[in-house]
């Protein structure tokens, strides 16, 4: 095995160093591995070998990026472990050019693996390293690896060892671009390609097709591999992608556009195998995420991201129109001013009345303090007796009140005029900061720019106590409650228990999310914005805060209700009538700012050069995907039952809000209050005149009641006399 591999590697180095690409215009049949090496493409080269003379593996005259890995040197490292892959010769993608393809040759021999591990385990480990640990990029204190999606891995093995490799099992996401060259004596070789016959977790080499002759077109080795490799693919789909509209056609024969239908059409045209799993989050399987966004971000590095939009989150709020009401006449003065004004008027009236009735300052002259105060409030001249003008008590008390009434009346009129001329204030929030509700998170943000080392011991302890207060009182309890709610929904068949929302900390003055949990899909049960806040809380640390990232955690508080009012997930009593009764008017406003802006689109895991990958790219580039997304969204909104039903067609027309709607009830209330106050005042002040008036009215009514009876008696008498006279004449 060692001599055959040495000869193969020797030819490989010579041909790559001193030959160019073969440019045959017609397909060329290759039957020996020496001819195969001559016709290799000018790709980057990576060699895994076990020779003792590592110095001969250099290419001084070769203009290609190449890496050599001497496998016995790393025999003491555990394979398939990420932390030691940084010790291998790798390339920084930000400091090197991107090659269109990469040829990786792994020469497996008895020296390429240790005696502690089996040959099958060592073979799978080196193939995994060649596929996943060749490229990297550098981040602060972190160096993640990137899968080599343009790699072509060729395993060179002796024929006696091939039987061990054929029975091995290992996780290999790039099995479609894995070639096995089985070297026999002389220059004979076989190119073997495995066939997909197993599940998604482990790759089994039970079914392998081998060919002894290869046709190269234009001297392109990767193109030959693409032509001979297995075309069968298996993709994972989860329960979120299987719905009734993707399986059953519309019963009325109407073609309903949906992104899931487009995805299944792409799978069908690509002729791939679909496997239904509960979740497709495993990193080494193939899966298409039809919608990634801030709430469902892609986590794996082996992804193809196709961005279709750039989305953020805004809130929608309903509010009452600011029509003129009783509050409009009270709002110019604060509550304290009205209390002081009422107290002052009461004291002045009470003192003046006492002085008028129990002293001889006015010599029992008639003076109405009620009328004088009322007239001064409305800027009218009130009557004051001449004797009262010369008394010190009346000069001081009524003089002070006169100055106060002028200042207060003019100030009130000025404020009222400015309020009438200015637009009415709308009492609804416009920014997310206004939605804050008893949140302790601002304490953490306040200490973000402080140097804690400069504080003394007691101050530092207080700061640390404040930093951990939000975590212990809000963050972790609320996370636990939401997690239990998500895992124990009534319709979640994976849970044997049920959990309801916690109403103990909810404040009715805080905002609510009206979107209910999606109980049909427990994996995606949370409303999208709540999922964003929850993911932010998972990454939050009290001692490592980035204000621009975590500032929206002021909304993550149990005081907020992330569910409709009067709703329980155990009894499900949310109805449209409840929502309709909670909405005051059919007026809505959108926030002026958007937060957590993040791209959205498609993510394809382990797609590489698959037909599925090309299919999704094609529908996005042609605009079909965006059109279907918008059509599906419009169809959902169109068939959605509104919370407030429009009873008449005129309700859909724009309404002019600059009217006196709501004014007449206010005028009626004001006039009623004014009459109810003034009537008792006038009765008390004019009690003599009112008494005479009532007496005269009673006399008149009594006379009118008696006068008609007397007329009727006279008439009857006259008629009787007339009848008697007529009888006598006859």
Per the CB < 8 A criterion, the answer to whether 412 and 305 are in contact is no
What pLDDT score was predicted for residue 51?
62
Closest CA to 166 of 125, 211, 204: 204
Which pair of structure tokens corresponds to residue 691?
């008494």
Q: What is the model's pLDDT at position 659? A: 52
**Has residue 426 got a pLDDT over 70?**
no
Q: How confident is the model at residue 197 (pLDDT cuts 50, 70, 90)?
A: low
Residue 590, pLDDT > 60, answer yes
In this prediction, residue 91 carries a pLDDT of 75
Tell me the C-alpha distance between 440 and 226, whole Å. Answer: 59
474 pLDDT band, cuts 50/70/90, is: confident
State how far the Cα of 664 lies from the Cα of 655, in Å rounded to an integer: 19
Q: Are the beta carbons of 565 and 318 closer than 8 angstroms?
A: no
The angle subtended at Cα 391 by Cα 386 and Cα 396, nearest 5°, is: 115
Asked if pLDDT for residue 455 goes beyond 60, the answer is yes
Q: How far apart are CA 319 and CA 440, in angstroms?
A: 27
CA dist., res. 502 & res. 143, Å (int): 43
- Low-confidence winner among 105-109, 619-623, 654-658 (lowest mean pLDDT): 654-658
Sheet holding 145-146, edge to edge: 91-92, 135-136, 145-146
Of 231, 226, 232, 195, nearest to 210 (Cα)?
Answer: 195
Q: What's the average model confidence in pLDDT over 327-336?
A: 82
Comparing 671 with 648, the larger pLDDT belongs to 671
Q: How confident is the model at residue 152 (pLDDT cuts 50, 70, 90)?
A: confident
The pLDDT mean for the chain works out to: 71
- Structural contact between residues 384 and 372, judged by C-beta atoms closer than 8 angstroms: yes
> pLDDT class for 14, splitting at 50, 70, 90?
very low
Q: Any idea what the Cα angle at residue 153 is, between residues 152 and 157, rounded to 5°?
A: 145
Q: How far apart are CA 485 and CA 129, in angstroms?
A: 41
Which range, 186-190, 230-234, 518-522, 531-535, has the best average confidence (pLDDT)?
531-535
C-alpha atoms less than 13 angstroms from C-alpha of 19 in its C-beta half-sphere: 18
Of 518-522, 566-570, 717-721, the range with the lowest mean pLDDT is: 717-721
CA-angle at 516, arms to 512 and 519, nearest 5°: 155
Total residue length of the chain: 730
Query: What's the whole-number mean pLDDT along residues 22-37?
Result: 60
Task: Categorise residue 292: left if φ over 0, alpha if ψ from -120 to 50, beta otherwise.
Answer: beta
Q: Is 6 exposed, middle or buried (CB count within 10 Å of its CB: 0-12, 13-18, 19+)?
A: middle
What's the rounded Cα separation, in Å, for the pair 696 and 328? 44
Strand, coil or helix: what is 274?
strand
The model's pTM is 0.59
- Asked if 103 and 43 count as a contact pair (C-beta separation under 8 A), the reply is yes
Distances (CA, A) of 233 to 181, 213, 278: 22, 25, 19
The confidence score (pLDDT) of residue 706 equals 67
Q: How far apart are CA 469 and CA 464, in angstroms?
A: 8
Query: Does the structure show a pLDDT above 50 at 715?
Result: no
Give me the helix-helix angle, 392-421 and 335-358, nearest 10°. 150
Return the pLDDT at 323: 63
- What token pair was written down for 440? 């302790």
Q: Are 253 and 292 in contact (CB under 8 A)?
A: no
**Average pLDDT in the 631-658 region?**
57
Contact 212, 31 (CB under 8 A): yes
**pLDDT of 206 higher than 60:** no
State residue 460's pLDDT score: 74
Weakest mean pLDDT among 9-23, 357-371, 610-624, 679-693? 9-23
d(CA 433, CA 532): 17
Residue 152 CB partners (closer than 8 Å, separation 6+): 43, 101, 102, 103, 104, 177, 179, 221, 222, 225
* Per-residue H/E/C for 399-423: HHHHHHHHHHHHHHHHHHHHHHHCC
The winner for highest mean pLDDT among 101-110, 543-552, 611-620 is: 611-620
Residue 252: predicted pLDDT: 42
Q: What is the pLDDT of residue 169?
A: 57
Structure-derived torsion over alpha carbons of residues 526, 527, 528, 529, reported in degrees to the nearest 10:
-110
């Amino acid at each position: 095995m060692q001599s055959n591999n040495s000869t193969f590697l020797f030819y490989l180095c010579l041909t790559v160093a001193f030959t160019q690409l073969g440019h045959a215009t017609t397909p060329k049949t290759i039957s020996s591995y020496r001819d195969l090496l001559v016709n290799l493409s000018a790709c980057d080269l990576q060699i895994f070998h076990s020779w003792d003379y590592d110095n001969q593996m250099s290419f001084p005259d070769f203009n290609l990026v190449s890496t050599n890995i001497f496998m016995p040197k790393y025999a003491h490292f555990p394979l398939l472990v990420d932390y030691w892959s940084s010790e291998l010769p790798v390339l920084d993608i930000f400091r090197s050019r991107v090659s269109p393809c990469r040829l990786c040759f792994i020469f497996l021999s008895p020296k390429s693996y240790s005696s502690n591990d089996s040959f099958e385990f060592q073979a799978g480990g080196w193939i995994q390293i060649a596929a996943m640990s060749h490229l990297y990029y550098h981040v602060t204190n972190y160096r993640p690896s990137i899968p080599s999606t343009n790699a072509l891995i060729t395993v060179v093995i002796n024929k006696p060892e091939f039987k061990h490799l054929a029975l091995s099992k290992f996780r290999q996401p790039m099995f479609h671009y894995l070639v096995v060259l089985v070297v026999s004596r002389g220059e004979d070789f076989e190119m073997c390609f495995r066939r997909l016959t197993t599940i998604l977790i482990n790759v089994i080499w039970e079914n392998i097709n081998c060919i002894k002759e290869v046709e190269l077109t234009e001297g392109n080795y990767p193109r030959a591999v693409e032509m001979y490799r297995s075309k069968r693919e298996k993709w994972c789909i989860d329960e979120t992608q299987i719905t009734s509209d993707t399986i059953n056609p519309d019963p009325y024969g109407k073609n309903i556009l949906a992104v899931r239908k487009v995805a299944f059409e792409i799978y069908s045209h690509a002729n791939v195998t679909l496997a239904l799993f509960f979740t497709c989050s495993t990193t080494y399987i193939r899966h298409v995420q039809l919608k990634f966004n801030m709430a469902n971000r892609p986590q794996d590095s082996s992804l193809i991201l196709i961005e279709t939009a750039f989305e953020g989150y805004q809130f929608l709020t309903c509010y009452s129109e600011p029509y003129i009401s009783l509050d409009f006449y009270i709002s110019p003065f604060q509550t304290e001013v009205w209390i002081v004004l009422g107290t002052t008027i009461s004291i002045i009236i009470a003192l003046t009345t006492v002085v008028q009735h129990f002293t001889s300052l006015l010599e029992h002259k008639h003076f109405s303090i009620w009328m004088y105060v009322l007239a001064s409030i409305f800027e009218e001249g009130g009557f004051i007796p001449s004797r009262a003008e010369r008394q010190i008590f009346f000069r001081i008390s009524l003089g002070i009140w006169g100055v106060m009434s002028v200042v207060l009346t003019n100030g009130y009129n000025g404020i009222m005029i400015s309020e009438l001329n200015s637009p009415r204030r709308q009492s609804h929030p416009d920014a997310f900061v206004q939605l804050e509700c008893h949140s302790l998170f601002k304490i953490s943000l306040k200490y973000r720019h402080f140097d804690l080392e400069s504080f003394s011991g007691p101050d530092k302890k207080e700061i640390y106590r404040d930093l951990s207060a939000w975590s212990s009182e809000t963050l972790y309890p609320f996370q636990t409650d939401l997690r239990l709610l998500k895992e124990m929904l009534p319709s979640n068949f994976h849970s044997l228990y049920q959990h309801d929302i916690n109403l103990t900390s909810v404040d009715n003055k805080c905002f609510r999310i009206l979107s209910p949990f999606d109980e049909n899909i427990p994996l995606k049960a949370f409303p999208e914005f709540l999922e964003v806040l929850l993911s932010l809380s998972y990454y939050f640390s009290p001692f490592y805060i980035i204000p621009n990232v975590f500032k929206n955690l002021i909304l993550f508080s149990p005081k907020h209700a992330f569910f409709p009012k009067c709703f329980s997930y155990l009894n499900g009593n949310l109805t449209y009538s409840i929502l309709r009764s909670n909405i005051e008017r059919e007026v809505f406003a959108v926030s002026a700012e958007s937060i957590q802006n993040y791209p959205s689109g498609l993510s394809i895991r382990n797609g590489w050069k698959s037909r599925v990958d090309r299919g999704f790219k094609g529908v996005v580039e042609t605009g079909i995907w965006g059109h279907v997304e918008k059509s599906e969204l419009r169809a959902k909104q169109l068939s959605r039952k509104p919370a407030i039903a429009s009873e008449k067609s005129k309700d859909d027309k724009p309404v002019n809000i600059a009217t006196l709607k709501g004014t007449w009830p206010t005028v009626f209330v004001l006039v009623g209050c004014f009459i109810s106050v003034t009537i008792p005042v006038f009765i008390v002040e004019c009690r003599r005149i009112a008494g005479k008036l009532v007496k005269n009215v009673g006399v008149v009514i009594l006379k009118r009641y008696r006068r008609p009876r007397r007329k009727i008696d006279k008439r009857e008498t006259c008629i009787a006399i007339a009848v008697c006279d007529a009888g006598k004449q006859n």
